[in-house]
């Protein structure tokens, strides 16, 4: 498929840029530039994955790719635009995520009733996990649309969605494509380290942003990200 090289290159760029953004000082130029590259690469990677998966009649993988687009897009919107300025976009994204989440859960139950017990060659647990995480994200969308979101919670929304998007990329590459690595390093526990690192960083940043004084000390650094808006915007 002609899209395979595009998908692979975009995925590798997304992983590198994503890790740079995670470890760069938040709100500063390197963080903003690498984050922008990460977003574009993730969108290309996910869009190409959607097309390729549909072309070979897969069911779960297209849904996973659409959810990845949802997480990355809403993660960017969290800091780029006020919720009230992007209400219709947020609501549309929420509806898409809800439909895809319910579809994934349905696929999981359907797979359990089949002799092989898999969907796209994967355990139905994958469908249940991603579908459940998407439902939790949708609940966060509903809360944001009803009550608004400000300050540290707004940054937390951005960080967890971007970190989860990066996890999709690292998990797909280091674990999903383990066969491309040389045999000496083709050790699942070893490959699991970079694959799961985004989840570790996700937990780290959730605690740091929501339960420490870090955001109050660093909030001025986020002004360039959110277009000069104050933390209470």
- Per-residue pLDDT tens, the chain, 233 aa: give them: 578 899 999 999 999 999 999 999 887 889 999 999 999 999 999 999 999 999 999 999 999 999 999 999 999 999 887 766 678 899 999 999 999 999 999 999 999 998 888 988 888 999 999 999 999 999 999 999 988 888 889 999 999 999 999 999 999 999 888 888 888 888 888 999 999 999 999 999 999 999 988 877 766 665 545 543 333 33
Q: What is the pLDDT of residues 114-129, one digit of tens each?
A: 888 898 888 899 999 9
* SS3 per residue for 100-148: HHHHHHHHHHHHHCCCCCCECCECHHHHHHHHHHHHHHHHHHHHHHHHC
Q: Where are the alpha helices (DSSP H) in the chain?
A: 3-23, 29-55, 60-80, 87-112, 124-147, 151-170, 188-211, 214-218
Q: Are 159 and 71 in contact (CB under 8 A)?
A: no
Tell me if residue 24 falls in helix, strand or coil.
Answer: coil
Q: What is the pLDDT of residues 147-190, one digit of tens each?
A: 888 888 999 999 999 999 999 999 999 988 888 888 888 888 89
The DSSP 8-state label assigned to residue 25 in this structure reads P
Where residue 227 falls (left for φ over 0; alpha for ψ -120 to 50; beta otherwise) is: left
């Amino acid at each position: 498929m002609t899209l395979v090289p595009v998908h692979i290159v975009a995925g590798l760029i997304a992983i590198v840029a994503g890790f740079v953004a995670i470890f760069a000082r938040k709100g500063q130029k390197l963080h903003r530039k690498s984050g922008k590259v990460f977003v574009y690469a993730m969108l290309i990677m996910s869009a190409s994955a959607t097309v390729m998966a549909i072309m070979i009649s897969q069911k779960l993988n297209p849904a996973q790719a659409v959810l990845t687009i949802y997480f990355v897009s809403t993660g960017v919107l969290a800091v780029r635009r006020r919720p009230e300025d992007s209400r219709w976009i947020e609501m549309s994204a929420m509806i898409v995520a809800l439909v895809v989440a319910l579809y994934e859960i349905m696929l999981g139950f359907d797979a359990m009733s089949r002799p092989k017990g898999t969907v796209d060659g994967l355990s139905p647990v994958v469908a249940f996990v991603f579908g459940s995480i998407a439902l939790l994200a949708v609940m966060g969308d509903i809360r944001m649309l009803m009550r608004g979101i400000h300050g540290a919670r707004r940054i937390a929304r951005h960080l967890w969605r971007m970190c989860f998007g990066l996890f999709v990329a690292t998990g797909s590459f280091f674990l999903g494509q383990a066969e491309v690595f040389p045999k000496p390093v083709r050790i699942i526990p070893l490959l699991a380290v970079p694959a799961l690192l985004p989840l570790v960083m996700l937990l780290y940043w959730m605690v740091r942003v929501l339960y420490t004084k870090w955001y109050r000390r660093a909030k001025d650094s986020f002004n360039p990200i959110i277009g000069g808006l104050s933390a209470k915007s």
